[in-house]
Amino acid sequence: MSQSMSTNLTKAGKLRKRPAREGEGAPEKYNKEIAEKLLEAITHKTLKEACDEVGIKKQTYYNWLLKYDEFFDLSTKSRKIKGISHFSETEEILEEIRLNKDNPDYRSDMARLRLDFHLRLAGKANQGLFGDTAKNQVNVTVDNKDVDVPARMSEKEWLEDK
């Protein structure tokens, strides 16, 4: 089979609807330069937007996470940066609420909605730093003894349980 004929066939050997173009599609092999651009974009965009920007599919991102430890470590760092960015936004919203507390036209309910949104995204981006951990504990002193109490249990529930 000639070279020009083989480029018009799919991997399954079927005829393509149109000829393949040079440079089309997601890179199959890990590319450090694309990976760095992608991880930079992830810090301020959604995963889909970041993947579209660098020309790869989301599945390629997930494949690289599984196959390449260096990429996994850099991706973790990018998520932390994104979490910190969202948390910084919450500080600005809190300051805005404080400055506008006496303004009757200020929509504090909308500010609280934005605050909750950014807190949730900060937690989603880095659960260990901003989100719930699997075993939240609260230290409580009872009768001069330190006791660990699950964070989701109210004081009344805890006392009834004892």
The rounded average pLDDT for each run of 10 residues, N- to C-terminus, in the chain (162 residues) is 53 65 58 88 88 90 90 87 85 89 88 86 72 50 53 59 57
Closest CA to 130 of 92, 96, 82, 98: 82
pTM of the model: 0.54
Rounded Cα distance between 21 and 43, Å, is: 32
Domains of the chain with CATH codes: 21-133 (1.10.10.60)
Residue 53 has what pLDDT? 92
What are the residues whose beta carbons fall under 8 Å from the beta carbon of 119, sequence distance 6 or more?
86, 87, 90, 130
Closest CA to 42 of 119, 34, 29: 34
Residue 52 has what pLDDT? 92
Beta bridge partners of 104: none
Residue 29 has what pLDDT? 80
